[in-house]
């Protein structure tokens, strides 16, 4: 009998309108439903302006879905509704259960690779010494143990993104959210980072949601959610459910 | 330690921020030290004149500056009065008439018979080296120097110094009082009478013999006697004199230095405001420049409170460092200016521990306050917006 994997993320009726000025409103999301199972590697694809980044920000608790103008939005992370959480609780949840990788790496320039990774541990409430040890381990996973004392500007783009990857993984989060993680890298470095992501997903069962408009990146995922004009246009399953 | 390491990695920004604070605190320290010096001069004078009446010749240009000659018989007349406990007949004159007067307290010679106050003087002189004068010194050329004048004259115990053409042996050097006695040399009355006589025109010398010469009388009232009433009595009974009581001194000199003090305090307040605004401005700028970094920290799970704490601690450390450097620079200016001025008797500054502590804590606390506002608004930013910030 086929067993349905547990849903790590469940979203219903996600809408988001940005009011840039009184007359200029952008309906970035117009009612999105989706489910992402634990251990899945999912790509969200679509042209720019399709709402994929907005969706990612809402899933990552960086933004909230609009409550007015339609049916009430629902967002459950690992089974618990997050809609009513305060900023503090959301921040806490981000630190404890999620990791983020951005297109432009977003490392703190004054911190070394090790300190950048350890910071995420400290924000999740890990003592400084332990966070440092965990950061060292995480840098090992991405093959950068040797470069731990370098600052971002002393690292190549690919290395910086691997540090960012180590940072997103240091708390061993349930969910890793990556926004165009290979967008600033050449194809060889892209391949390297992508293989790493794939390996974390395969070997450690790390759930991955990544936003991309690169079809090759999408092609390595289990599932692709295609978006257009703030709506899910279609879902493409690349690998059969286990 | 980690914080200092991070600050050192942002060298240019940190240096500029600290520099902005340093300049403000520097100005604050220098001007406050100037105000301190004036305050202690006035307080010292006020203390000196408490409980006594200074009597001088009525022809003196200013009350309280007894340099015109008087006859010692006037002192004897005062001693006769019922309410008078003791009388100290003195000679006061410019230490070196050839030297030009600098800004600051005048250097002067004080001739007095030691012990004439009969123990009523409350303004204590303590020798740091050697001894004070005694009544037995009358008739010999010995001198006790105030601390600043001793340094300027490079006088040491047993040295022979030339005062107005006469040789004097140094027998004592006084502890610093931070007020007028620091620029004073005390000699026996007889020696002062000879020096004064030599400086007077022949016509006066013919009229009054050297051993009758004095220039001022310090009158110590009996306990419970009203200074003002006794002063009025002296002016009535003794011809051609004017009096100055402690209260009058405070009024006259206090009013004059009050204006001066107001100017100094005004300047200090301006430097406080300028220093304060430069602290606030640099802090606000340095936080604004880091909007993106704050966005990153928020996104990876840094709470608002934690980020505000990080920024405020950093601001406090920067404020503290700027304050300490400003204090060191200010203290350097104070010491150098005082050293340079010492030769001309111009001691302009007095840096007190209170001023030093105030300067550093002001800069630290202001740094924190200046850091709180931009830190608070930065931490409230939408992390996604902050991440887009370039």
Partner-chain contact B304 A87, CB within 8 Å: yes
Cβ distance B97 to B199 under 8 Å?
yes
Pairing of strands B241-245, B184-187: unpaired
Cα–chain-centroid distance for residue B112? 26
pTM of the model: 0.70
Tokens (6 digits) for A144: 């950068």
| Residue A1 clears pLDDT 50, i.e. is over it | no
Least confident piece of the model among A176-185, B51-60, B93-102? B93-102
* pLDDT tens, position by position, B143-172: 999 988 888 888 889 999 999 889 999 999
Helix, coil or strand: residue A146: helix
Q: Categorize the per-residue pLDDT at A178 as very low, low, confident or very high, splitting at 50, 70 and 90.
A: very high
Above pLDDT 90, what percent of chain A? Answer: 67
Dig out the tokens for A232 from the structure. Answer: 């899910």
The reported pLDDT for the residue numbered B249 is 77
Instruction: Supply the pLDDT for residue B60.
Output: 65
What does the alpha-carbon distance between residue B27 and residue B201 come to, in Å, rounded to a whole number?
A: 49
**Considering CB atoms only, which of B6, B301, B304 is closest to A111?**
B6
Ramachandran quadrant class, B195 (left: phi over 0; alpha: psi -120 to 50; beta: rest):
alpha
Residues 155-184 of A with CB under 8 A from B: 167-168
Look at A91-95, A230-234, B121-125, B200-204 and tell me which has the smallest mean pLDDT: B121-125
**What is the average pLDDT value for chain B, to the nearest integer?**
83
What pLDDT score was predicted for residue B324? Answer: 95
pLDDT of residue A2: 46
Mean pLDDT of A180-207: 90
- Structure-block tokens of residue B251: 């009024």
> How many residues in total does chain B contain?
390
pLDDT of residue A36: 94
Question: Contact, B357 vs B25, CB < 8 A?
Answer: no
C-alpha to C-alpha distance for A88 and B273, rounded to whole angstroms? 37
In what side-by-side order are the strands of the sheet with A207-212?
A: A98-101, A175-179, A207-212, A41-45, A223-228, A231-237
Contacts of B2 in chain A (CB under 8 A): 115
Q: How far is CA B181 from CA A7, A39, B86, B174, B320, in A?
A: 89, 88, 21, 8, 38
Cα–Cα distances in Å, from B312 out to A58, B277, B305?
Answer: 30, 17, 10
Q: Is B128 helix (H, G, I), strand (E, B) or coil?
A: strand
Higher pLDDT, A52 or B102: A52
Q: Which of A88, A108, A115 sits opposite B293 (nearest CB)?
A: A108
Return the pLDDT at A162. Answer: 94
pLDDT in tens, B280-309: 777 777 777 888 888 899 988 899 999 899
Residue A51 with chain B: CB contacts under 8 Å: none
From chain B, the residues in CB contact with A88 under 8 A are: 303-305
Looking at every residue in chain A, the average pLDDT score rounds to 90
Residues A204-216: tens digit of each pLDDT: 889 999 999 888 8
CA distance readout (Å), B65 to B96, B179, B236? 16, 16, 20
Q: Chain A closest CA to B384's CA: distance in Å?
A: 7
Confidence of residue B251 (pLDDT cuts 50, 70, 90): confident
CA separation for the pair A159, A154 (Å, rounded): 9
B358-368 burial: b if 16+ Cβ within 10 Å, else e: bbbebbbebbb
CB contact under 8 A, A62 and B383: yes
User: How much is the pLDDT for B100?
Assistant: 61
Percent of chain A clearing pLDDT 70 (strictly above): 96
State yes or no: pLDDT of B226 exceeds 80.
yes
- What span, in angstroms and rounded, lies between the C-alpha atoms of B304 and B149? 61
Q: What is the pLDDT of residues B43-57, one digit of tens each?
A: 777 777 778 888 888
Interface touch A106/B387, C-beta < 8 Å: yes
Distance in Å, alpha carbon of B318 to nearest chain A alpha carbon: 16
Q: How many CA atoms lie within 13 A of B60 on its CB side?
A: 23
pLDDT in tens, A20-42: 888 888 889 999 999 999 999 99
Q: How far is B277 from chain A (nearest CA, A)?
A: 27
Contacts of B6 in chain A (CB under 8 A): 110-111
Segment B257-278 mean pLDDT: 73
Q: Mean pLDDT throughout A44-58?
A: 91
Cβ contact, residue pair A106, B296, below 8 Å: yes
* Residue of A94, A106, A110 with shortest CB distance to B9: A110
The mean pLDDT value for A140-154 works out to: 94
pLDDT for the residue numbered B104: 57
d(CA A234, CA B245): 101
Chain A CB contacts of B1 under 8 Å are none
Mean of the pLDDT values across residues B105-113? Answer: 83
Q: Is the predicted pLDDT of residue A143 greater than 70, yes or no?
A: yes
Q: What residue has token string 């618990």?
A: A80
> How many CB atoms are closer than 10 A to CB B323?
31
Q: What is the ipTM of this complex?
A: 0.87
Query: Among A107-116, A128-137, B87-96, where is mean pLDDT lowest?
Result: B87-96
Instruction: Please give the pLDDT value at position A76.
Output: 93
The tokens for A182 are: 């290979």
At B101, the pLDDT band (50, 70, 90 cuts) reads low
pLDDT, position B62: 55
* Dihedral of alpha carbons B58, B59, B65, B66, sign: negative
Is B328 or B176 the better-scoring residue by pLDDT? Answer: B328
pLDDT digit string, tens, across residues B122-138: 777 888 889 999 989 99
């Amino acid at each position: 009998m086929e067993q349905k994997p547990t849903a790590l993320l469940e979203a219903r009726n996600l809408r988001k309108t940005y009011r840039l000025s009184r007359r200029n409103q952008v309906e970035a999301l117009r009612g999105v439903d989706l489910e992402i199972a634990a251990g899945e590697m999912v790509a969200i694809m679509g042209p720019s302006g399709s709402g994929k980044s907005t969706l990612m920000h809402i899933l990552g608790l960086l933004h909230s879905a609009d409550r007015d103008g339609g049916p009430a939005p629902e967002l459950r992370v690992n089974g618990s509704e997050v809609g009513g959480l305060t900023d503090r609780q959301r921040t806490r949840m981000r630190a404890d259960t999620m990791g983020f990788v951005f297109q432009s790496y977003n490392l703190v320039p004054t911190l070394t690779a090790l300190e950048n990774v350890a910071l995420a541990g400290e924000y999740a409430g890990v003592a400084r010494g332990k966070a440092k040890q965990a950061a060292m381990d995480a840098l090992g996973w991405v093959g950068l143990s040797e470069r731990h004392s370098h600052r971002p500007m002393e690292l190549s783009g690919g290395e910086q993104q691997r540090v960012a990857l180590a940072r997103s993984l240091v708390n061993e989060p349930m969910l890793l959210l990556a926004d165009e993680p290979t967008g600033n890298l050449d194809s060889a470095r892209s391949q390297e980072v992508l293989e790493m992501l794939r390996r974390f997903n395969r070997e450690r069962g790390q759930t991955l949601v990544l936003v991309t408009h690169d079809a090759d990146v999408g092609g390595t995922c289990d599932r692709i959610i295609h978006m257009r004009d703030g709506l899910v246009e279609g879902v493409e399953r690349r690998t059969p459910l286990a | 330690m980690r914080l200092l390491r991070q600050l050192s990695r942002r060298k240019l920004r940190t240096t500029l921020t600290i520099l902005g604070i340093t300049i403000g605190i520097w100005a604050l320290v220098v001007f406050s030290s100037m105000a301190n010096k004036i305050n202690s001069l006035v307080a010292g004078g006020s203390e000196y004149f408490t409980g006594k009446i200074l009597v001088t010749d009525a022809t003196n240009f200013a009350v309280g500056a007894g340099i015109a000659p008087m006859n010692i018989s006037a002192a004897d007349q005062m001693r006769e009065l019922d309410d008078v406990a003791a009388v100290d007949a003195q000679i006061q004159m410019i230490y070196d008439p050839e030297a030009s007067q600098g800004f600051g307290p005048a250097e002067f010679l004080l001739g007095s018979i030691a012990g004439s106050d009969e123990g009523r003087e409350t303004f204590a002189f303590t020798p740091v080296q050697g001894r004070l004068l005694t009544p037995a010194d009358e008739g010999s050329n010995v001198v006790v120097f105030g601390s600043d004048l001793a340094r300027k004259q490079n006088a040491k115990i047993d040295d022979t110094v030339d005062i107005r053409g006469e040789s004097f042996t140094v027998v004592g050097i006084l502890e610093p009082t931070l007020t007028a006695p620091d620029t004073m040399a005390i000699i026996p009355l007889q020696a002062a009478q000879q020096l004064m006589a030599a400086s007077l025109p022949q016509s006066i010398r013919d009229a009054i013999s050297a051993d009758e010469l004095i220039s001022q009388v310090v009158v110590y009232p009996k306990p419970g006697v009203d200074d003002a009433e006794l002063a009025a009595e002296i002016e009535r009974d003794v011809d051609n004199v004017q009096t100055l009581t402690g209260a009058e001194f405070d009024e006259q000199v206090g009013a004059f230095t009050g204006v001066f003090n107001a100017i100094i305090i005004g300047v200090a307040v301006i430097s406080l405001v300028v220093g304060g605004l430069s602290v606030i401005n640099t802090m606000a700028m340095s936080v604004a420049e880091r909007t993106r970094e704050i966005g990153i920290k928020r996104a990876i799970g840094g709470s608002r409170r934690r980020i505000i704490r990080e920024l405020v601690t950093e601001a406090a450390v920067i404020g503290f460092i700027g304050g300490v450097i400003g204090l060191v620079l200010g203290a350097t200016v104070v010491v150098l200016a005082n050293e340079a001025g010492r030769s001309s008797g111009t001691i302009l500054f007095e840096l007190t521990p209170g001023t030093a502590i105030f300067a550093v804590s002001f800069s630290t606390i202001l740094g924190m306050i200046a850091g709180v506002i931009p830190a608070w608004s930065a931490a409230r930013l939408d992390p996604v917006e902050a991440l887009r910030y370039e």
